[in-house]
Amino acid sequence: MPKLTTRYTNQSLAETFRLIADLLEIKGEVIYKTLAYRKAADSLTNLGRDINEVAKEGTLTELPGVGKAIAEKISELLTTGKLDFLNKLAEEVPLSLADLLQIQGLGPKKVGLFWRELSITNLDELKTSAETGKLRHLPGMGAKSEEKILAGIAALARRSGRTPLGIAWPFAQDLLAWLRTLPGVTAAEAAGSLRRMRDTVGDLDILAAAEDSEPVMQAFVERPDVIEIIGHGPTKSSVEFANRLHAQLWVHPPARFGTALQYATGSKDHNVRLRELALNLGYSLSEHALKRTNDESELTCATEEEVYAALGLPWVAPELREDRGEVQAAKAGTLPTLITVNDRLAELHCHSNWSDGKATIREMAAGAAQRGLKLIVISDHSQSLGIANGLSVERLQQQRAEIDAVQAELGNSIRILQGSEVEIKADGTLDYPDDVLAELDLVVASLHTSLGQPRQQVTQRLISAIQNPHVDIIGHPTGRMIPDREGADLDMDAVLAAAVKSGVALEINAHPSRLDLNDIYARRAAELGIPLSINTDAHAPQHFDLISFGIATARRAWVTPEQVINCWDVDKIMGWLENRRRDV
């Protein structure tokens, strides 16, 4: 439950509207009203600008899903920090009821029933009532329902929110590889937020193609690492694994794999758009087929391309399927040509054993060359980051000799530059003096410490670095760590405006625990013409392969290869750096 603060961010505002939606639903308000609040919340989540700025402009109602009523509520929250409507609602419906919706299998109708009939308002009271058999006498309830609720409460205590993509992805790949070995399985793919490559995922959604689903489902729920079967049917099953991850598997015949994969990939909002479009074209779209509404005849699709083609659209990349304008763009033929992993030609931010890396400069350069990269920047930590063995000015100058030696040895297989990941210190100054920075081929400036500074202070600190003419790239701009640490409380509109002015590039750090910038801000930056740089921050050669997570984030941000420095050829990169040096 969000606590009331006087300064609202896009996220806290979105949470407030989601809370309102939950409470209205428990209260029994017409479903479309609750959906409207959730839609508005999604719109705020997807917004790359500060809502305070939009409110100042008076253009709130131009946001999708925000009309007069919700715009007024946003304004009230932003100006007074309170919302009369929510306060009155909270007097009617206890706020703590919203927590009960977190329990798997428990929705607003049941929560409302428990509250009205038994005055249950929180988890403890619900648990006691279930344990003492008080729930089973209510309509639609029985002993099994009580068991399910208790299991749901226990599962809630075990789980801790969403899983970082970097953890979910490899596990899902193992699961898919195993599924593909099962007899009768002709294909298996990740779906859901996993396939859309969101930075965190809820449940793992997995789809398999097989004529006979039963044996596949049976094998799935009987896997030795399954600790609980949440559901088990012929087309859909869901389980909890020993590692606490939840997964659900759909099995459909190969001839229907296209509609099934499209359906299971989502997002929900993207699917709603497509189904609306289908209805306009005389089809009802489901995971099984496109059904003509006039004669019920079916058009089955083995591939997703066929599904989109039937709707008059080009195939839409999964990373775009968030209902952020992609269906409209597909219709208009203006989908971007998204960046791919193969477009990456350079790594501009990585570490060697001169600071906290695990490999030598030679090993890093050779590893990069082996992966087809044409240019690598060794950017070890600067002096004040003692914990990472940051380089003194003297060691930095010694490192140049080794880089030159490795360059001579490897010849023109790869270009090696000397850079640095320079600390932006708590006072906003950089960790090396300007004359030292001027000697470097490329400078990445990053925040690592004092991330908890007040908004204005930490924003000004980052802007100081952006304005330093020696800085080329801002590394992982917010400093967030998934899932544990929120980034700095930056005024991102001001940061982006400063970046536009200085011509500095912003990084999408590809490490799955960072993915910083995130998709929303990366999209906004690209729209503003700010050059992006996608880097793995590798501390060993195998980390170069983490690039796929950074590329996926860029794809979610609608980014094309031209907008990313790492995709330029060596001459263009060197030219860009030269221009920046000349402007100093």
The footprint of DNA (CB under 7 A) covers 30, 32-33, 35-37, 39-40, 61, 64-71, 85, 101, 103-111, 136, 139-145, 148, 192, 202-203, 205, 231-237, 248, 264, 266, 268, 271-272, 275-276, 278-280, 284-288, 291
In angstroms, give the least distance from the CB of 105 to DNA: 5
Length of the chain (residues) = 584
In angstroms, give the least distance from the CB of 444 to DNA: 39
Burial class, 91, CB count within 10 angstroms (exposed 0-12 / middle 13-18 / buried 19+):
exposed
Query: Which residue number, 203 or 507, has a Cβ lying nearer to DNA?
Result: 203
In angstroms, give the least distance from the CB of 217 to DNA: 8
Query: Which residue number, 140 or 386, has a Cβ lying nearer to DNA?
Result: 140
CB atoms < 10 A from the CB of 407, how many? 17
Query: Which residue number, 249 or 547, has a Cβ lying nearer to DNA?
Result: 249
Burial class, 309, CB count within 10 angstroms (exposed 0-12 / middle 13-18 / buried 19+):
middle
The three-state secondary structure class of 339 is coil
Query: Which residue number, 38 or 344, has a Cβ lying nearer to DNA?
Result: 38
User: Cα(411)–Cα(429) distance, rounded to whole angstroms?
Assistant: 37
In angstroms, give the least distance from the CB of 4 to DNA: 19
In angstroms, give the least distance from the CB of 526 to DNA: 25
Query: Which residue number, 285 or 547, has a Cβ lying nearer to DNA?
Result: 285
CA distances from 460 to 54, 361, 438, 481, 493 (A): 21, 34, 23, 21, 12
Query: Which residue number, 196 or 524, has a Cβ lying nearer to DNA?
Result: 196
Query: Which residue number, 203 or 322, has a Cβ lying nearer to DNA?
Result: 203
In angstroms, give the least distance from the CB of 272 to DNA: 5
Beta-bridge partner residues of 232: 237
User: Cα(421)–Cα(379) distance, rounded to whole angstroms?
Assistant: 5
Cβ contacts of 549 within 8 Å, gap of 6 or more: 165, 166, 169, 197, 510, 511, 512, 515
Distance between the two ends of the chain, CA-based, in angstroms?
49
In angstroms, give the least distance from the CB of 164 to DNA: 18
In angstroms, give the least distance from the CB of 139 to DNA: 7
User: Cα(139)–Cα(233) distance, rounded to whole angstroms?
Assistant: 25
Q: What tokens were used for 543?
A: 């980390």
User: Cα(417)–Cα(440) distance, rounded to whole angstroms?
Assistant: 8
To which residue do tokens 């690039």 refer?
Answer: 547
Query: Which residue number, 169 or 521, has a Cβ lying nearer to DNA?
Result: 169
